[in-house]
Chain A
Amino acid sequence: MNAVIQLAGLETKMFFRDRLSTFWTFLFPVTMIWLFGSMFVGETMNGQTFAEMFVPSWIGVNIVTTSFFTLGTVLTGYRETGVLRRYQSTPLQPWKILAAHAFQGTVIFGISAVLLMVFGMMMYDLRLPEFIGSTLLVLLISILAFFPFALFLTSLAKNTQTAAAISTLFLNLMLFLSGATFPLEMMPTVLQYVAKVLPLYYVIQLMRGTWTEAPITEYGFEAGVLIGIAVVSTILASRFFRWSDK
């Protein structure tokens, strides 16, 4: 157990050692909200204000960026440069490595989520989530669904460039088709169906819902889908864990 704590602590510390990447990681979502704010502030959609629409959904988007870019791409880099291979000849088990990185990802995501929320509250009169326990539960389920999902997908890549390409593809698909940036109602019916295939759609529905409308118990289906993804991708990620490309 000591090894997991050590590794989790070190990985988190090393993330913050790269000041530039830390800065951009946290600046990006806030900038996006500010940009959308300058376009949509004052408008209401489905009875929700701009901030109630966008801040919860961008917290959801943050889970995706953290899983793909902070976790997936970094682990692919570790595979490429032999960091994981070095671990292979120690008694350290794969789950401990994954757990340590999941911890690191949760810390980074947590910080950017709080930043977004505070920014929303200061600039656009956002209130704290109505059903805060439910919102936290949604975040937990989303993390459990997305972290292994991204780890599995990026582990298919041979190098960091490919991993970054995979990550960018998934991020953009989800950004535009899951309702995070443009309301789904604006889109053709076909794309509205496509959206429901993408896991981020369910995260956003749950985040917006629990922020203003109702507790998680009212969203059994959406939560169920995410739990399903969590189970399947955890199995895939651990089954197909690779130490090296050889």
Chain B
Amino acid sequence: MKNVIKVENLSKSYGDIKAVKDVSFSVHEGEIFGVIGPNGAGKTTTLEMLEGIIKPDKGNVNVLGLIPCQSLRELNKRIGVQFQATSIQKKMKVKEALALFSSFYKQENQKDYLVELLGLEDKMEVKFDDLSGGWKQRLTLALATLHRPEILFLDEPSMGLDPHARREMWSLIRLLREQGCTVVLTTHYMEEAEKLCDRVAMIYSGELKALNSPRDLLNEVAAHYLTFESDGLGYEQLIGLPGVIRVEIEEGVYKVYSDNQQKTAYHIFSSCESKGLSLSNFRFETGSLDDLFVHYLEKEKIV
């Protein structure tokens, strides 16, 4: 598999704050690569070092064979960027923005195709400021992909979108990948990472904590738990059972994290049975990236 981005021991500090610490990873050609983590984890800083607009303090970045901050102009012809908090001129109309950004690139553009794909025809005469959040995101996505970039960088592409618009955004991003575009995106929505990304890099406090496909990450036992409802079991009883790491009880719904699910399940069943307590809705859950995330954060706190 060909790597289009290679990052080695990347670090960046702002004053005393270390935004990114010694991060290394590669992005394969044609995949959707997610950089996930909570707000302030260093996702945007990482992305902007790849885009070449922030210069790393330490480490190597290679994007499409270029060193981003040294050959920014060359790189900008080949990548597309959608920022998290930028706008275009408020009074600029959609069709004007599309024409303007097309004029920045020498290569043939796919303006008409994108207008149709994104359903922008009816909005051509609308000023940017008058567009709703979802339409603004669509337009800035169009502006980032006009020139058929080889890599598309999206910083929180579904921020502020309603669930329906978010799903539409996902299918657009998938479509772009099918056309051969590599996509690197950041998100703090774990659902987005699970459903959209081929591989994810999980970072927080500037450090890379995990790097894998969402499925493989979830196959790590850490996020697995048993869940059930019961009316009599106490926390003390559960935490003492073999294999149990952590117990969460919320309004009669139990979540038991264990490093040996089968054994723990057996003991839960037998203690309920012997004490005559009710037990219902028992399930083995693989968890979500959200759970995995909480798990990592709590482990961090203990250390």
> B83 and A85: CB pair below 8 A?
yes
Residue in B54, B72, B92, B143 whose beta carbon sits within 8 Å of that of A10 in the complex: B92
In the complex, A14 Cα to B89 Cα: how many Å? 9
What is the size category of the interface that chain A forms with chain B? 20 to 34
Type the 1/0 row for A119-163, where 1 means its CB is closer than 8 Å to any CB of B.
000000000000000000000000000000000000000000000
Type the 1/0 row for A44-55, where 1 means its CB is closer than 8 Å to any CB of B.
000000000000
Please tell me if A41 contacts chain B, counting CB pairs below 8 Å: no
Please tell me if A196 contacts chain B, counting CB pairs below 8 Å: no
Please tell me if B177 contacts chain A, counting CB pairs below 8 Å: no
Given contacts A10-B96, A82-B86, A82-B87, contact A91 B103 (CB under 8 A): no
Decide if the interface of chain A is mainly helix, strand, loop or mixed: helix
Please tell me if A31 contacts chain B, counting CB pairs below 8 Å: no
In the complex, A223 Cα to B93 Cα: how many Å? 42
Interface residue count on the B side (C-beta < 8 Å): 26
> A83 and B103: CB pair below 8 A?
no
Residue in A6, A78, A82, A93 whose beta carbon sits within 8 Å of that of B83 in the complex: A82
Residue in A2, A18, A88, A246 whose beta carbon sits within 8 Å of that of B103 in the complex: A2
Residue in B53, B87, B92 whose beta carbon sits within 8 Å of that of A89 in the complex: B53
Contacts of A92 in B (CB 8 A): 104
Which residues of chain A from 1 to 43 have any CB-CB distance to chain B below 8 Å in the complex? Answer: 2-3, 6-7, 10-11, 13-14, 17-18
Contacts of B117 in A (CB 8 A): none
Contacts of A82 in B (CB 8 A): 83, 85-87
In the complex, A112 Cα to B66 Cα: how many Å? 48
Please tell me if B142 contacts chain A, counting CB pairs below 8 Å: no
Please tell me if B88 contacts chain A, counting CB pairs below 8 Å: yes
Please tell me if A217 contacts chain B, counting CB pairs below 8 Å: no
> A246 and B99: CB pair below 8 A?
no
- Tell me the smallest distance from the CB of B241 to a CB of chain A, in Å: 51
Please tell me if A243 contacts chain B, counting CB pairs below 8 Å: yes
Given contacts A3-B104, A91-B105, contact A86 B86 (CB under 8 A): yes
- Tell me the smallest distance from the CB of A133 to a CB of chain B, in Å: 35
Please tell me if A189 contacts chain B, counting CB pairs below 8 Å: no
Query: Which single residue of chain A is at the shortest CB-CB distance from B105?
Result: A91
> B76 and A90: CB pair below 8 A?
yes
In the complex, A3 Cα to B73 Cα: how many Å? 15
> B88 and A89: CB pair below 8 A?
no
Please tell me if B195 contacts chain A, counting CB pairs below 8 Å: no
Type the 1/0 row for B59-86, where 1 means its CB is closer than 8 Å to any CB of A.
0000000000000110011011101011
Given contacts A6-B100, A10-B96, A91-B105, contact A86 B76 (CB under 8 A): no
Please tell me if A81 contacts chain B, counting CB pairs below 8 Å: yes
> B96 and A91: CB pair below 8 A?
no
> B51 and A89: CB pair below 8 A?
yes
In the complex, A53 Cα to B72 Cα: how many Å? 51
> A89 and B76: CB pair below 8 A?
yes
Which residues of chain B from 119 to 155 have any CB-CB distance to chain A below 8 Å in the complex? Answer: 143
Contacts of B96 in A (CB 8 A): 10, 13
Please tell me if B18 contacts chain A, counting CB pairs below 8 Å: no
- Tell me the smallest distance from the CB of B40 to a CB of chain A, in Å: 15
Given contacts A14-B92, A82-B87, A85-B86, contact A91 B73 (CB under 8 A): yes
In the complex, A123 Cα to B105 Cα: how many Å? 51
Which residues of chain A from 44 to 102 have any CB-CB distance to chain B below 8 Å in the complex? Answer: 78, 81-83, 85-86, 88-93
Query: Which single residue of chain B is at the shortest CB-CB distance from A78?
Result: B89
Please tell me if B228 contacts chain A, counting CB pairs below 8 Å: no
Given contacts A3-B104, A246-B54, contact A89 B91 (CB under 8 A): no
In the complex, A89 Cα to B104 Cα: how many Å? 11
> B104 and A83: CB pair below 8 A?
no
Query: Which single residue of chain A is at the shortest CB-CB distance from B79?
Result: A89
In the complex, A90 Cα to B87 Cα: how many Å? 14
Given contacts A3-B104, A91-B76, contact A83 B88 (CB under 8 A): yes
Contacts of A13 in B (CB 8 A): 96
Contacts of A10 in B (CB 8 A): 89, 92, 96, 100
Q: For the A-B complex with A3-B100, A82-B86, A89-B51 known, give 9 more contacts whose Cβ atoms are closer than 8 Å.
A: A3-B103, A10-B96, A13-B96, A14-B91, A18-B91, A85-B83, A86-B83, A89-B81, A91-B104
Interface residues of B (CB under 8 A from A): 51, 53-54, 72-73, 76-77, 79-81, 83, 85-89, 91-92, 96, 99-101, 103-105, 143
25 contacts between A and B (CB under 8 A): A3-B100, A3-B103, A6-B103, A7-B100, A7-B103, A10-B89, A14-B89, A14-B91, A14-B92, A81-B86, A82-B83, A83-B88, A83-B89, A85-B86, A86-B143, A88-B72, A89-B51, A89-B79, A89-B80, A89-B83, A90-B104, A90-B105, A91-B73, A91-B105, A93-B73
Interface residues of A (CB under 8 A from B): 2-3, 6-7, 10-11, 13-14, 17-18, 78, 81-83, 85-86, 88-93, 243, 246
The 4 closest A-B pairs by CB, nearest first: A82-B86, A89-B81, A14-B91, A6-B103
